Amino acid sequence: MPFLSFIGLALRSLLHPRSSRLNLFQLYSRTMSAGQERSLGDLTLDENVPSTGRSEEEKATKKAAKAAEKAAREAEKAAKVALRGVKQAAMTTADPDDPLRDQYGDLELVQSKTSCTKSFVRVEDLNEALVGQKVLIRSRVHNVRGKGSSAFLVLRQRTATVQATLFADDETVSKGMVKYASQITRESIVDVGGVICAPLKPIEGCSQSQVELKVDYIRVVSRAVILPFEITDAARSEDEIKAAESRGEKMATVSQDIRLDNRFLDLRTPANQAIFKVQSAVCQLFKELLLNQGFQEIHSPKLIAGASEGGASVFKLEYKGMPACLAQSPQLYKQMAICADMERVFEVGPVFRAEDSYTHRHLCEFMGLDFEMQIYEHYFEVLDVIEKLFEHIFNGLATRFGKELSVISQQYPFEMPVFKPLRLTFPEGIAMLQESGYPDVDPLGDLNTAAERRLGALVKEKYGTDFYVLHRYPAAVRPFYTMPCSDDPQYSNSYDVFIRGEEIISGAQRIHDPDMLTERALACGIEIDTIRSYIDSFRFGAPPHGGAGIGLERVVMLYCGLDNIRKTSLFPRDPKRLTP
């Protein structure tokens, strides 16, 4: 360990004098983690950098970074060899002369030798009612502190933690056992047995503060090597860091890129555990409501011939000798499902956008929650579904996932969003902006991000809701297949939906008449030949229909008031990131 620390420190200062938490293993895994070479200069990229202006700056730093990289590479190579050569110095087996030797030492590799011989208890279920009972727990070692004849561990299981203690008494705990426990590395997985006790005073910093575990059995299931960063450092809130600073202390922080490079470690923080439970919950609530409303789930192909919507950038590839691309949206297929009489369909699937947007809310691959439905008379039928859907999601999260939301807010404080159904027309929105003195809004143009945010704030002020629908967008800013308004073709039967002033949904009534579709495409300067099969799919009787596409990561981000979409994507993909 001292040797490793030395190399780590040496490399850290050599390569990244400014980086507070970069060590040997981290560097090592960066190099190893892909067939892709990412510039070390990217390490400190700010997460909120907008897409424009960045490339200039980058070019300037690129040269310097490359030189540093080259030097680093040699050093890393040497370090890697060293790392592989060094064995863990920690004690892994019990002292054979210890009468209590059967109570500790690394567990034999779990290889399905035994079945149903052990009964494990969950950390979150430990409470005062269990005091005096023997339990067995499999968890991570979140922290460990050895002190002569005693050892204190914090055991962590997802968002729950509990203190475990060992005091050498030669009856239930030996000195060897304490030594063994003290040397277990953080993040190792252990089986710990013992008796639940009530501590003299509540345990600070553990989720289970009213109980602790008096250990009489401890075995390592899987041993962790030195970590690229500490989970505790990654789990700290801005407030804690600032509070420490005001006391004159400097707390370690972990940059977004280092987190993402080691995402499976970063995901272990309580906030991340909760964020992805919430993400799972949003999917669950989405499906619950739609199945309940007579929708059925479909799965459309992601490999398609030609560009799915034309225009925006697509990822291209070769498919068995044919030119292909990745679907930018399930739009056409959802519509074909409607033309195939499925009436109401939804899809949860990846959406691929090869755009160069390096913002806080764009990804190159994200999860689309799409639905499409027959319209009998009016696109308000779609808005009815959207409002029911978000009422269900907002209520469902608040009532069924309150614990997770509370865990997220401990690291990333946020106010619960308010849901009240509200529909404003685009012209009404423009009027609100203009009345508030917002400059330069084009009544027939689109809203930019700043205008959207401002309108969100105005809506919150006036109507008291964090959720609203803006509909009747100018036709010019929507795709050619959007149904125009019958009373004014400058506007369209389209809508966006906002949470906290940011767009999460875009949708519309689609043109289901092939002649009108042709006419609109021509008016928009689209070559008919490129979209003929799309147009033709409406020639065999097409029901009027509309739908919407929702970005899953955005819903979670905006519901929880998070500042970056990378926080709500399990393994984010942006123009600079393809790994892990």
Scan residues 240-269 and list those touching a copy of itself (CB under 8 A).
Answer: 263-265, 267-268
Say whether residue 117 binds a copy of itself (CB under 8 A): yes
For residue 375, the 8-state DSSP code is -
Footprint (CB under 8 A) of a copy of itself, residues 550-579: 552, 570-571, 573, 575-576, 578-579
Helices (H), 16-53: 24-32
The Cβ-side half-sphere exposure at 28, using a 13 Å CA radius, reads: 19
CB 20 within 8 A of CB 13: no
CB 333 within 8 A of CB 24: no
Report DSSP letters for 82-94, one per residue: HHHHPPP-S--S-
Q: Looking at beta carbons only, is 366 or 459 nearer to a copy of itself?
A: 366
Q: Looking at beta carbons only, is 161 or 174 nearer to a copy of itself?
A: 161
- Nearest distance from residue 564's CB to a copy of itself, in Å? 17
Footprint (CB under 8 A) of a copy of itself, residues 350-379: 350, 352, 354, 356, 364-365, 367, 374-379
Say whether residue 411 binds a copy of itself (CB under 8 A): no
Cα–Cα distance, 515 to 29 (Å, whole number): 57
Binder among 27, 218, 485, 562 for a copy of itself (CB under 8 A): 485
Footprint (CB under 8 A) of a copy of itself, residues 280-309: 280, 283-284, 287, 291, 296-306
- Nearest distance from residue 441's CB to a copy of itself, in Å? 25
In sequence order, the 6+-apart residues with CB closer than 8 A to the CB of 543 are: 338, 339, 341, 343, 374, 375, 512
Say whether residue 115 binds a copy of itself (CB under 8 A): yes
Cα–Cα distance, 372 to 343 (Å, whole number): 8
Phi-psi region of 20 (alpha: psi -120 to 50; beta: other; left: phi over 0): alpha
Site map (CB under 8 A) of a copy of itself, residues 149-188, x = contact = --------xx--------------------------x-xx
Catalytic residue ranges: 353, 355, 361-362, 503, 506, 554
Binder among 54, 396, 513, 564 for a copy of itself (CB under 8 A): 513
Say whether residue 197 binds a copy of itself (CB under 8 A): no
Say whether residue 523 binds a copy of itself (CB under 8 A): no
Q: Which two tokens stand for residue 474?
A: 């100018």
Binder among 137, 162, 227, 289 for a copy of itself (CB under 8 A): 227
Please give the C-alpha separations between residue 193 and each of 119, 173, 229, 308, in angstroms, as whole numbers: 11, 12, 28, 57
CB 491 within 8 A of CB 426: yes
Binder among 210, 276, 398, 420 for a copy of itself (CB under 8 A): 276
How many residues sit in the footprint of a copy of itself (CB under 8 A)? 123
